[in-house]
Amino acid sequence: MQTIHKISGYIATLYLIHYHKNNNLLLLDSGCSCDVKIVKNYIETILQLKIENLKLVCISHAHPDHSGGASYYKKKYGVPIAGNPSLNYWYKGFSGFITYIIDIMLTYLVAKKKKKGFANIYFPRKVELDILLSDNMPLPNFNDWLTLLTPGHTDSDLTFFNKDLSVAYIGDKIISAPPAYFRPYPISKPDEYKKSLQKFIDLKISTFLLAHNGERKIPDKLFSTLINSTPSSPRVHKSDLFRILSGILNPFK
């Protein structure tokens, strides 16, 4: 038996899977670096367990609210980190550094919209992965969860799918702002993004765990609408930078 706990992080919902038989814990995405203490406190006070019960942190993609806490779990608590081997390309080199700065500012923009105060979300650009995940690979020691390669939002997005429960954590593949649903920003590979959404339809997943605004039942019709309406041109920082900067100047003023 397992329970999926939903933890409210700085700007995202974090999903902590509790296996009651052995009290092992699996975390789907690390959240921001400031979320590590939130998860640790939840484990110790709500679940009455220890951080040592956290056996694996899986990373869906390289953004501050998804991979920002990973290095801290590894360094402070020795928790293994699993992710796509291409994860670290996102922030590599000079252009990657610019992307890194913009992504941090975008995180603060979302925090502003959520009426959150300032928090230190600094994180290393490179994540040292202990486990390299590939398409259709079960998560080590959590074999009921399957890794799916679902790029499009970034170049190396992963989805974590539990076939028995018909539940999938899809990160930022769809953003929910009830009652609306929309595509994430950026869309680095539109054609791959469409294929990823089609994969969700083909798998007949009943419940989707979203990084923003929680658990949802999403009908195939909505996925089809997003597939058909996704432009063929990427939406990335290079083309949208001015619009981004206009929204993030003095984010906590």
Sequence ranges of the domains in the chain: 2-229
pLDDT tens digits for range 91-150: 999 999 999 999 999 999 999 989 999 999 999 999 999 999 999 999 999 999 999 999
The 3-state DSSP class for residue 56 equals strand
Pick among 1.25.40.390, 3.60.15.10, 3.40.50.20, 3.40.190.10: CATH of 2-229:
3.60.15.10
Is 241 a residue whose pLDDT tops 80? Answer: no
pLDDT tens digits for range 223-238: 999 999 999 998 887 7
| Banded model confidence at residue 77, pLDDT cuts 50, 70, 90 | very high
Model pTM? 0.94
Q: Which residue has the tokens 């367990």?
A: 49
| Per-residue model confidence (pLDDT) at position 247 | 53
Q: In what order do the strands lie in the sheet with 54-58?
A: 2-8, 13-19, 24-28, 54-58, 81-83, 131-132
| φ/ψ of residue 248, rounded to 5 | -115, 0
